[in-house]
Amino acid sequence: MPLNELLREDLVFLDMHPKDMPECLELMAQATEAAGAIPDAREAAERLLDRERTMSTGMGSGVAVPHAKTTSCRTTVVALGVVPDGVDFKSIDGRPVHVVFMLLGPPDSTRQHVDLLARIAYLVKAPGVLEALRGATDKNAVLEILRSNRELRHS
């Protein structure tokens, strides 16, 4: 399923102000649980933090894609957070992250997980997409940016 179909409006979190990466992941997991998309925010945040300890998911260009698999998810869940002030994800380019895509999925979702990671990687290269996401003032604008990006529509 394409990224723009997995990302629901209630899983877009604008204007986040975490003090650090762990708090960013906790806030996103809590908001995702509050939206009813995952059953256990604490467990999800722990899995995401474990992944970050293995290797940073900061892709560079202001994007991070924290991702993890968990038995508490029956389907793949995608959330997007925008951090205007940026947050340190120990990105490969050393720059702060402003756009965070969080992926959570069941253990048997490896292919979809990899496909989604590849689609998100296009954001780093697509002209104007990151700037548009950072400047989005409402959730519908974020969804429209993703809908209009050809590379993200297909999977």
Active-site residues, by number, are 67
Rounded-to-integer distance, Cα 123 and Cα 130, Å: 7
What are 116's two structure tokens? 């989604």
